[in-house]
Each structure stands twice: as C-alpha cells, then as structure tokens.
C-alpha cells in the first residue's frame, strides 16, 4: 500500500516549501501541479505541513462522502471561526449534524420558492437607479444586492442603510481569514498588529449589525415571521428544552450572512464578465428571455423554461467556481484511492482545477454553455463538477443560490446590456476565500431595446 510520503509533487524551498509559489499565484500553481504530477500531488506549506491536491472525482467522493468521517474541516475554516464563530459552517460531528438538521427545513425547495418574488423585486429596485450609458462597479452592485436579498429572505429585515459598511467589514474579514489560512507563522489574534486591529474593528461592525437584527426580532416575537431567524429564535433542544443563546444565534446568522451572499455575488459577476466577452451567447440568451418573459419580470414558474439562462450560470460556475477549493484535515488514518494518509495531512479538492480537466470537458478553457444542454452531468462522475461541494456538508443554500442567480440574471439581462468600461484592467481571478474578479468589474450599462 502506498503511503502519502511517496507521492510526487513540485520541488520547494528548504523551509517554506511551496508556500511562496502558491501564495504568489494559487490557481496557476495548482493547475501546474496537477498538469505535471497528476491526480494526487504532494505540496508542502512551511517546514512540516503537507497538503495533497486530489483531482480524481472518485477519490474526491471518498473524501467528501464515503469516508468523510475520517476528516474534519481544514485550517482555513478553523480560522474562519474568528468571524463566523461556531455556526454550521465550522462545527464538526454531532454538533454539525444537529445544526444541519435544524436549519435544513428553512432551505427546502417548497420554502425557498417563496423568496423568488422578493429576489426579483429587490433587483428591480436596484435597476431603478441604473441609467442608460453610465459606468458602474458591477461587483459592488452584485454584492449589495445579494446582501439585501439574504437579509430580507432569511432574517426578514432590510439593511438598506449601512450596506457599504457591512460589505467593507466582510471584505476585511475575508481577506484576513484567507491570509491567515496560508501563513507559516501564526500570530495570535490578541497581538495588536495592524491586520489584527483592522480585523477586530470589522468584526465589531458586523457584530453590531447582527445583534441589532436579533434584538429587533426578539422585541416582536409574535410578528408572524416564518423565516430562518424566527426558527433560530424559537427552536428548543429536544433533551434540555433550552433555546439558543444570543451568541449561538449570532453565529448562525453571521454564517448565513457571509456564506450566503458573496458566493452568489461572485458567480453573477463572473457571469456578466463572460457574457460581455461572448456576444453569440448573449444573443441566444436574449432570444430565450424575450420568448419566455416577453418583457415582464420573471417568476418562479419561469425557471423550468429558462434553460439556456441556467446553462450560462452552470458554465460560469464551471470556469470560475466561487468556492475554488475545499480542504479537509485527516484526523484518523485513512485510505484514499489506495494511498494511506495520516492524521495532520490536509487534502485539497479544487473545483477550479477539476472543472478544467480535459478528461471531462472538451475545450475546457472556453465558455460554452451548451455543453450543459445534454446529459453531460449524467455522463461525467459526480465530483467532476461540484461547485457546491458534496456529501453531508454540501452547500445548504445550493437551491437558493441557483434560483437567486437565475432570477437576478434574467431580470437584469432582459433589460440591460453590459460591457467592460473602456481601458478596463485585465480581468483575472483572485482566489481569496471566494474567487472574485481582482479589483472588481467596471461596466458600462446600456438599456436594451427588445427586438
Ligand atoms: C453560487 C453560490 C454558492 C456557492 C458556489 C456555494 C458553495 C459552497 C460550497 C462548495 C460549500 C461546501 C464547503 C465545504 O465542503 O468545505 C458550501 C457550504 C455552505 N454554504 Fe454555500 N455556496 C453558495 C451559496 C450559498 C447560499 C446562498 C447560502 C445560504 C443562504 C449558503 C450557505 C452555505 C452553508 C451554511 C454551508 C455550510 C454547510 C455545512 O457545512 O453543512 N451557500 N457552499
């Protein structure tokens, strides 16, 4: 039986190993590592921390699904606890299963379809301020909109004021978390470095907003809300009969707040970028939108007919998956694909790398939404396309996100045409906690005249 220490990988420097090369260009590094060394690659971060990049769908399935009990979430997400606390995203084992069972009903399809009209209405609200011919930061617009949607649908509150501040605070938090996840030296959070102080301020801003939302709702318990927040506030532990503390509610709210908006916002931003580069796709999209909607706003009933619109989004998530990698830490010795991994090893599964694997995708670097028209997802292995992860920790908001992305995209695309602003910087992906267009997207918007 092969052991993990015999696995090949790129040469590194004496102490830092491959860390600096990875830090400089994470996506390029991982792609090259896969191309040069194959489905399992050994990477060293610092003197003794080993990360194995797994790019075989069957082995990814073992890690995320069939042998998942041998793993916990890896360092990156442990660091995320500084922001999201002990919510569903970061908890493990029994605690995770309990929280997941609790929250799952709020994400059932029959529940989330009720949010469709709020999603479209908030989008139309945003569009009212859009002026033909103006230049806008599309990335900011998408972040603001998805933040409003998550607040309205999950917590029944509108945070129209302070959105910029919250957006900025989340941004600071995310950058901090992604930097810490790949640091060689772990500086404790309580040492007042510039980054730690900035992070503390951001965390404080977020706490203020979230506790305000909780407090407002506690004051009006009989208001007839049936959203995630009221569920969190009324749930009782089956054994002890006690409810969640404010801190527990805060952690779950913060988790959904963060996990639930930036991912969708980035997916939309990438979709706008790709569309602006492919007028042939855009024409086909408009043809579908005009045929199905005839100028009216989309509703949940239109989803089945907006097939091409959805293919565009799936293809955008293939090329620029908002979650570009998931990591797992081995906590008990485990055999994956005939190789033994030891406690302390980290296994990395990168959607970015997997989704561009030529074994499963022809012309993998090209934007071809039609590839999803046939039975592609039935022909390729389950984990050759996994934008939402998989197994017991699969994204709880996957249906919510797909519905949201489709409705927002359809609402905007049927009214506006978007192009990169003249002299735009080169659009390159920046892999922080999520994959975003580096330095944002500035786009010129023009009102569309339907033919
Ligand atoms: C396009 C948008 C989205 C993408 C690409 C995405 C992707 C993912 C992925 C890959 C994971 C698994 C991470 C892992 O296994 O380590 C995940 C987990 C999660 N996502 Fe999403 N997500 C999106 C939208 C959402 C939305 C809208 C919500 C909530 C409203 C949400 C809430 C969560 C939560 C709570 C988890 C943790 C689940 C658990 O550990 O049990 N996500 N997401």
Q: Is 401 exposed, middle or buried (0-12, 13-18, 19+ CB in 10 A)?
A: buried
Residue 150 to residue 75: CA distance in whole angstroms: 27
Judge whether residue 120 has pLDDT over 70. Answer: yes
| Domain residue ranges of the chain, discontinuous segments joined by + | 2-447
pLDDT on residue 119: 95
Model pLDDT, residue 71 = 95
CA of 430 to the centre of ligand 1 (A): 19
Instruction: Report which ligand 1 atom has the smallest distance to the Cα of 392.
Output: 41
pLDDT given for residue 402 in this prediction = 97
pLDDT digit string, tens, across residues 38-77: 999 999 998 888 999 999 999 999 999 999 999 998 766 6
Residues 6+ away with beta carbon under 8 Å from 81:
90
Share of residues in the chain with pLDDT > 70 (%): 93
Cα(377)–Cα(379) distance, rounded to whole angstroms? 6
Query: Distances in Å between the alpha carbon of 59 and those of 293, 333, 346?
Result: 43, 15, 14
The 10s digit of each residue's pLDDT in 291-315 is 999 999 999 999 999 999 999 999 9
Pocket of ligand 1 (CB under 6 A): 88-89, 100, 150, 255-256, 259-260, 263-264, 267, 322-323, 326, 387-389, 393, 395-397, 400-401
Q: Please provide the average confidence, as pLDDT, over all residues in the chain.
A: 90
CB of 45 within 8 A of CB of 18?
A: yes
Residue 367 pLDDT greater than 80, yes or no: yes
Longest dimension (CA), the chain: 65
Tokens of 330: 């081995």
| Cβ 295 vs Cβ 285: under 8 Å | no
Kindly tell me if the per-residue pLDDT of 160 is higher than 60.
no
Fold adopted by 2-447: Cytochrome p450 (1.10.630)
Q: Could you tell me the CA-to-CA distances from 159 to 152, 153, 228, 380, 407 in Å, in that order? A: 8, 12, 16, 42, 21
Residues 370-392 have a mean pLDDT of 96
Atom number of ligand 1 nearest to Cα 326:
16
* Ligand 1 binding pocket mutation candidate from 150, 259, 269, 271 (most atoms within 8 A of CB): 259
Q: Are 23 and 69 in contact (CB under 8 A)?
A: no
Quick one: 364 exposed, middle or buried, by C-beta within 10 A (0-12, 13-18, 19+)? middle
Say yes or no to pLDDT of 359 above 60: yes
Query: Left if phi > 0, otherwise alpha if psi is -120 to 50, otherwise beta: which for 50?
Result: beta
- Mutating to test ligand 1, I would choose from 60, 170, 174, 263 the residue with most ligand atoms within 8 A of its C-beta, which is 263
Ligand 1 geometric centre to CA of 388 (Å): 6
Q: What is the band of 186 on the pLDDT scale with cuts at 50, 70, 90?
A: low
Q: 76 CA distance to ligand 1 centroid (A)? A: 15
Rounded distance, CA 394 to CA 80, Å? 18
User: Which of 321, 382, 397 has most ligand 1 atoms within 8 Å of its beta carbon, as the pocket-test mutant?
Assistant: 397
User: What is the average pLDDT across 267-296?
Assistant: 97
Residue 85 has a pLDDT of: 83
Instruction: Please determine, for residue 184, whether its predicted confidence score (pLDDT) is greater than 60.
Output: no
pLDDT at 110 over 80: yes
Say what the pLDDT of residue 198 is: 84
Q: Tell me the CA–centroid distance for residue 322 and ligand 1, in Å.
A: 10
Q: Where are the beta strands (DSSP E) in 86-219?
A: 135-137
């Amino acid at each position: 039986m092969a052991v993990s220490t015999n696995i090949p990988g790129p040469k590194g420097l004496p102490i830092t190993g491959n860390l600096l090369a990875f830090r400089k260009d994470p996506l390029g590094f991982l792609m090259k590592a896969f191309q040069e060394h194959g489905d399992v690659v050994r990477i060293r971060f610092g003197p003794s921390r080993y990360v194995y990049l797994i790019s075989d769908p069957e082995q990814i399935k073992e890690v995320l699904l069939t042998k998942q009990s041998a793993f916990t979430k890896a360092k990156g997400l442990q660091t995320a606890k500084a922001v999201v606390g002990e919510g569903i995203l970061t908890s493990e084992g029994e605690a995770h299963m309990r929280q997941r069972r609790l929250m799952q009903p709020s994400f059932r399809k029959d529940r989330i379809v009720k949010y469709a009209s709020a999603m479209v209405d908030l989008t139309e609200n945003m569009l009212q301020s859009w002026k033909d011919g103006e230049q806008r930061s599309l990335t900011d617009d998408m972040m603001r909109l998805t933040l409003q949607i998550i607040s309205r649908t999950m917590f029944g509150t509108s945070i129209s004021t302070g959105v910029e501040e919250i957006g900025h605070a989340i941004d600071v938090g995310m950058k901090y978390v992604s930097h810490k996840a790949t640091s060689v030296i772990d500086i404790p959070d309580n040492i007042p470095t510039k980054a730690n102080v900035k992070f503390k301020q951001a965390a404080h801003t977020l706490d203020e907003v979230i506790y305000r939302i909780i407090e407002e709702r506690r004051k009006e318990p009989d208001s007839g809300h049936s959203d995630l927040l009221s569920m969190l506030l009324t749930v009782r532990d089956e054994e002890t009969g006690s409810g969640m503390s404010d801190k527990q509610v805060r952690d779950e709210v913060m988790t959904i707040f963060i996990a639930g908006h930036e991912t969708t916002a980035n997916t939309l931003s990438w979709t706008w970028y790709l569309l602006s580069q492919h007028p042939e796709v855009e024409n086909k999209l408009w043809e579908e939108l005009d045929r199905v909607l005839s100028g009216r706003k989309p509703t949940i009933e239109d989803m089945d007919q907006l097939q091409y619109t959805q293919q565009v989004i799936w293809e955008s998530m293939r090329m620029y998956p908002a979650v570009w990698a998931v990591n797992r830490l081995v906590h008990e010795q485990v055999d994956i694909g005939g190789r033994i991994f030891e406690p302390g090893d980290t296994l990395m599964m990168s959607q970015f790398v997997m989704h561009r694997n030529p074994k499963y995708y022809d012309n993998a670097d090209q934007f071809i939404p039609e590839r999803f028209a046939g039975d592609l997802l039935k022909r390729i292995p389950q984990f050759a396309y996994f934008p939402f992860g998989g197994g017991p920790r699969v994204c709880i908001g996957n249906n919510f996100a797909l519905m949201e992305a489709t409705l927002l995209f359809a609402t905007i695309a049927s009214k506006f045409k978007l192009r990169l602003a003249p002299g735009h910087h080169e659009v390159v992906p920046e892999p922080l906690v999520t994959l975003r267009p580096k330095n944002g997207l500035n786009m010129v918007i023009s009102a569309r005249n339907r033919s």
